[in-house]
Structure formats: structure tokens, C-alpha cells
Structure 1
Amino acid sequence: MCRWIAYSGTPIFLSRVLFDTQHSLIDQSLHSRLGVETTNGDGFGIGWYVPDLDTPAVLRDTGPAWSDRNLHDVAHHVRSGMFFAHIRATTGTAVQQTNCHPFRKDRWLWMHNGAISEYGLLRRDLALAVDPALYAEIEGSTDSELMFYLALTFGLDDDPPTAVARMAGLVEETGRRHGVRNPLQMTVAVADGVRLWVFRYSSERASRSLFVSAEVDALRALHPDVSFLQQVAEDTRLVVSEPLGDLPGAWKEVPESSYGVIQPGLDVFEAFQPR
């Protein structure tokens, strides 16, 4: 499995959450507390949005995040108001750059923690459901990228929650047709540069961990001495596979079988059901 972070809010240096926090993503790559694997060293990736550009930038590589000098340099020199970061622990597909998250298509970024069970058995049927106009753009061999292109096929551009629900429904239907009892395990983040959608779902209703940061104004009241909280806007949010530190009141678990929309103004969390 994997660990990931999605950030939306006041532009900050990526290093602020990748390197500088108590239990940063780099620390999690070596010492994950809540993941299936303690070490996540099968590649990494970051994706970030830049004002006035239509597509996000992406940096991905196959080595472990903790020793990559390029990642360290970029993270300490790039500032963004929306970015993804992902460390990979493969569930069976090759360790190669095209299999590292996040995946990008036009303005969209996508990353995933989890797996499609018996993926080798289901892969052909699922791939045939991808829009032929999109299929040639799939570069890697992961279930995660195929899930992304299925969501694009099912209307991600117009209605992300419905598109992801239809993708999940197809995976479950296909899995059960092949005798796979619990086909899908996922926490997913997908963004278009303005809004961020996050999903927590599994066929067995025992999904991998996912947390969202508490409202900034509430945290300021609890921790007036934390300088970072004074520097960011009230709509700043982090969604993480596991908390970045032990600050009391800082993290709320995303409910099982739910999705959230992180956006300017009011965040929304709703029940999630495959279709």
C-alpha cells in the first residue's frame, strides 16, 4: 500500500509538509504507523498547480523519497496552494516511473492508496471499459492509473463523485463476476486545481486510514502559539493517509464509505456508494 498527502489553501513551500513536520511524508516513507507496510520505498511523486497554467507540474521517480536530492531541492523551492505528494509501496506491479503517482491528465491530478484484488484476473475486462479515445494515454501497468482512466471515461470532467462511484461500481461488478469477494480497496484524491475531492471506500467496509485537518480557526483557538496556523487562510486543509503530528485536535478521521469536497468556502462530506 502507499501513503499520500493532498494540500489545498494558502500557498506554502512543499517542504513544509513533506519534510518539516513531526511525522512528515518523508518520515512516513520509513516509519509508517498506520499503513500495511512500515516502509514505502517503491517510488514517489509530487504534483502541484501553478497560477495561470492550465496543467499541473509533476515530478516522479522510482527511488525512495527519503534519499532523493531532486525531491528535496524542488520541495524547498516550490510554493503552491494545491499539491499532491505520494510515496509508493507496490502491490505487485513493476517499480517504474510510469507507475508512480500522482497521475495527470489535462488539469486533473489523481492518486490512490489501496488495490483492486486479483487485478491480473480483472484487468482485461476493466481496460476494455476505458474510452478508446483515452486508452492510448495509459502509460503504466497499475490498477490506480486504470481506475483514473475509468473515472475519466465515466465523466470526471463533469461530475467527479458520480464518475468515481461508477468506476467503483464497475470494479465491484467485474470482481464479483470473477468470484472475487472484496474487489476494491481505496482512498483516492483527485483535483482540478480549484477543488479537491477525496474518497474513502472498500468493498469490505474496512478501508485504509484517511484524515482531514480541522478548521484553522478552531485550531488557532486551541493552539495560539503555533505560528503556522497564523500564516494560513481559514480554508486551508490537509488530507492525509496518517496524521503529520500529534497536535491535539488537529485531525479528524474521514468516515468510512464517504467522500469530501475541499473547496473555497464550505467543505462538504457525503456518504459514498458505488453505482
Structure 2
Amino acid sequence: MCRWLAYSGSPVLLEDLLYKPSNSLVMQSKHSRMGAETTNGDGFGVGWYGAGPIPGVFHSTEPAWHDRNLRELSGHAMASRIFAHIRATTGTAVQQTNCHPFRHGRWLWMHNGVLTDFPKVKRDLALAVAPDLFPEIEGSTDSELFFHLALTFGLERDPQSAVAQAVGLIEDTGRRHGIDYPIQMTVATTDGDTTWAFRYSSEGNSRSLFHSTDIATLRHQYPDHPLLHGLSDDTRLVVSEPLGDLRGAWREVPDATCVVVHGGEQEMYPFTPELPVAAAV
């Protein structure tokens, strides 16, 4: 399906995340260890927060390992909050408007997974998107529609509740169409200040997701590791799969869980879908 990472902490070059680690995202684009597919070559995207209020995004339909512009950009662009995503399409076209992360104002969103039998449920779900948000949908993916459902249900006010309602609607719609397991997801979203990451699937067997452990502790364990000494104590990563093999650096996110990262604080909450009130009437 896809692989992604969400970084926050001291400013780093994009190449420090995308190229330098032994299991970097670019490495995963050809040799994913834990993905549904080994190769994720159907485009990529990077989102980052710079000087302005709106995050920058760079999308390409090239495989990440093959894109010279990504290699050039990564050696110069630096940010303290970065989203990056490599895509393996589940059926929709390979085009820039289908590349993650998706953007709405200050918000970024990326998804690994699938809305099962998407053509069967697409019309019903599209009609649930708020009329003022619907014109913003540029591509044809289930992931972008999922994003706009979350926005419809109040992502900008309460991300955990909005995603729970979007997933509740997706599951209810899917089951009305005879789909046993309507959604498979790991999702990350951010407003540039806080990151929310979700791991969930209708079948209870979700795609892989990990979070980094405390940098200060790792620095104490590995005093000679150069990368750790360049990172602030509040640095945090949430990733589809670990970027390296440093013992103790990564912990698996439990299934049906929401991870909230704000500064150096990282908290986990149970995640349970809920049917939106309007849909339940």
C-alpha cells in the first residue's frame, strides 16, 4: 500500500530522514520490510512547515529512488516538522493530485491503507462531504476523500473525534454494501503544532506503525552515536516501519490506538470509530 513518516523536533534536513537512515523512506520505496508490498514506486510527497503559516508540499509521480529533484531539495530544505509519504496505489491513477500528503490550510494528512471496494462506496461517501469542502477534492483516491470526511466532521476542532466519526461512517457505509472489513488505515495529520497518528482496521489486523522512544534515553545508551547528539530532547517520529536497527529506539503502536505528539510529550489513547450523529438519525 504505502509507507510514511511524521517528524517533529529540532530542524533537520529532509535528507536526514529520507536518505541517510539505513532503512530510510527512499530505501523503503524499493525494499519495504513490513509493507503490504515490497515496492512503493507510484509517486511520493513531502510536506513541511517553514516561515509562512501554510505548509509547503512537493509531489511527484516519479518513484522516490529515481527523482533527482527530491535528491536536490532534500540536501537544502530544513524544517522542524516534516511529513513524507511514498505511494503504492490500490487502484487509482498515478498522478500528482493523488500523492500524499494532502493539504487544507495549515493541515496536512497522509494515509496508508485502503477503503475496501472503494468504487462501491465512493458515491455515498462523497455525498457526505460538506458542500464547501467538496470542490477542494482534486484527485481520485480514497485517502483524499477520507481526509475531507474528517474535515467535514470537525478535524480542525477535535481531530480524534473527527477521525472516529469519519471511520464510523466508512464502516457503516461499507457494511451496508456487503463489505465485511471496510477500512484498513494508519493515518497521520497535523496542524503544524501537534501531530495525531492513528492505527486501526475493521479486521483488527492493521498495517504496521511505530513511534520513536525518548531521545535523551537513547543518547545515554549510545553516547557515540552522532545523529542522536544533533537532535533536541523533544524530537519525535511516528513511522510505518523503523528507520534503522538501533536497539530500543522504536516501539510498536498498539492496534486501535491514537498517538498524539505535542512538543516532547507523546500520549496514546484508545481509538474507537463512532457513527456521526446525522448519519445515525
Matched, 1:164 2:163: yes
The residue aligned with 1:150 is: 149
Superposed CA offset, 1:145-167 (max 9, x none): 00000000000110000000000
Q: How does 1:10-159 map to 2 (within 5 A)?
A: 10-51=10-51, 53-159=52-158
What is the one-letter code of the residue matched to 1:164? V
Superposed CA offset, 1:114-159 (max 9, x none): 0000100000000000000000010000000000000000001100
What is the one-letter code of the residue matched to 1:228? L
| Helix, strand or coil at the partner of 1:252 | strand
Following TM superposition, by how much is the alpha carbon of 1:266 offset from its aligned partner in structure 2, in angstroms? Answer: 2.0
The residue aligned with 1:193 is: 192
Off by >3 Å, runs of 4+ in structure 1: none
Superposed CA offset, 1:190-221 (max 9, x none): 01111111000000010000000111111112
Question: In structure 1, what is the Cα distance between the partners aligned to 2:231 and 2:62?
Answer: 32
Question: In structure 2, what is the Cα distance between the partners aligned to 1:89 and 1:18?
Answer: 17
What is the one-letter code of the residue matched to 1:169? G
| Helix, strand or coil at the partner of 2:223 | coil
Following TM superposition, by how much is the alpha carbon of 1:228 offset from its aligned partner in structure 2, in angstroms? Answer: 1.5
The residue aligned with 1:6 is: 6
| Helix, strand or coil at the partner of 2:265 | coil
| Helix, strand or coil at the partner of 1:136 | helix
Which consecutive residues of structure 1, in runs of 5 or more, have no partner in the other structure?
none
CA contact 2:45–2:58 (8 Å) conserved in 1: yes
The residue aligned with 1:205 is: 204
Q: How does 1:168-247 map to 2 (within 5 A)?
A: 168-247=167-246
Following TM superposition, by how much is the alpha carbon of 1:173 offset from its aligned partner in structure 2, in angstroms? Answer: 0.4
What is the one-letter code of the residue matched to 1:29? S
| Helix, strand or coil at the partner of 1:232 | coil
Which consecutive residues of structure 2, in runs of 5 or more, have no partner in the other structure?
275-281
Question: In structure 1, what is the Cα distance between the partners aligned to 2:266 and 2:23?
Answer: 25
Question: What's the RMSD between the two structures over aligned residues?
Answer: 0.7
| Helix, strand or coil at the partner of 1:259 | strand
TM-score w.r.t. length of structure 2: 0.96
State percent identity of aligned pairs: 59
Question: In structure 1, what is the Cα distance between the partners aligned to 2:77 and 2:235?
Answer: 18
What is the one-letter code of the residue matched to 1:261? V
Number of equivalent positions: 274
Question: In structure 1, what is the Cα distance between the partners aligned to 2:33 and 2:215?
Answer: 25
Return 137-146 or 263-272, whichever deviates more: 263-272
TM-score w.r.t. length of structure 1: 0.99
| Helix, strand or coil at the partner of 1:127 | helix
CA contact 2:233–2:264 (8 Å) conserved in 1: no
Following TM superposition, by how much is the alpha carbon of 1:265 offset from its aligned partner in structure 2, in angstroms? Answer: 4.1
| Helix, strand or coil at the partner of 1:114 | strand
Question: In structure 2, what is the Cα distance between the partners aligned to 1:212 and 1:264?
Answer: 14
